[in-house]
Amino acid sequence: MSSTEKNSKNILPSRSFLFISDVHLGAFSAQKNRELELEIIKLVDFCREHRLEIVILGDFFDYWMEYPGNRVPPVGRMVLQHFCDYHVKTGSHSLFVTGNHDNWTNGHLADLGFDVEHEYRILTDSATRILVLHGDGLKDPAMNLPRPAMHRLLRNSYFIKMYQTFLPPRLGWIGMRLFSGSSRKTGEKKRKSSRADMLDLWAKNRVRTNDEIQAIVYGHHHRQLLWSENGLTCLNCGFFGGKKTLGLYANKAFQIVTWNGSEMTLETRNMTVDRRE
């Protein structure tokens, strides 16, 4: 069994997917965070009406660390409750692939009905197999996308235990928020350099050289991208927390769309499409 196959999960044929990445709830003012939550609540209702399966691709929160005893950060509670209600009413389990800002989970998201994945997953619709991930790196060396050393340290179980031992929840969440803000600013600077293209190049090479997948959908670097070649696709959802962009797979085609909450529509105009090598 190949490394790409190990986390595969079949989705019923003819289903459509809406991919959302990099919301960064908690990174903004209280007013903007609330506005973002209301936008996502509308989006969830839209997906339910149009039978779109929701796939979250990491950094939904700007900081998220669950402590034992179901103690969770005071962020995104309204939208999480709406997701919980959505899962109960529809019997669905939205896939939540964690990112480098929100991978410290301890069962709370699963209790709300999310299907939580810390690495990658393969979604299948008819003959199309879609590899989905956040994009900050993967543990499996065969995937050839190593995480930076700092990210490996932060995910280490011993580090997490020590952090939570010495910092109670309230102080721990303050520390996470400050670190996440600093990390995000550093990431924004890196995105302006050629290093910002490395993830896109990895995705294109991976989908070209692995005949088990036809598409890769991811986030992380906040730049929307739609690339296609010989029936293969790479799609970066972009920065929902800023530009409200998303990835859409429907009718066996991929698109980058923008959410218009006031009109309750997905718009396709003014999107960047990359068909270069």
Residue 270 is predicted with a pLDDT of 47
- Encode the chain (277 residues) as per-residue pLDDT tens digits: 344 444 444 444 578 999 999 999 999 999 999 999 999 999 999 999 999 999 999 999 999 999 999 999 999 999 999 999 999 999 999 999 999 999 999 999 999 999 999 999 999 998 899 999 999 999 999 999 999 999 999 999 999 999 999 999 999 999 999 999 877 666 565 555 556 689 999 999 999 999 999 999 999 999 999 999 999 999 999 999 999 999 999 999 999 999 999 999 999 854 444 544 4
Domain 8-267 grouped into CATH 3.60.21.10 = yes
Among residues 231, 4, 262, which one has the least CA distance to residue 132?
4
User: pLDDT at position 232, please?
Assistant: 97
Q: What is the pLDDT of residue 181?
A: 83
Report which of 48, 216, 186, 262 is spatially closest to residue 123, judged by C-alpha positions: 216
Note the pLDDT of residue 78.
97
Q: What pLDDT is recorded for position 99?
A: 97
Q: What is the DSSP letter of 71?
A: B
CA angle 248, 250, 251 (to 5 degrees): 155
The overall pTM is greater than 0.75: yes
pLDDT of residue 250: 94
Q: Determine the residue type at 21.
A: S
Domain residue ranges of the chain, discontinuous segments joined by +: 8-267
* Residue 196, burial from CB neighbour count under 10 angstroms (0-12, 13-18, 19+): middle
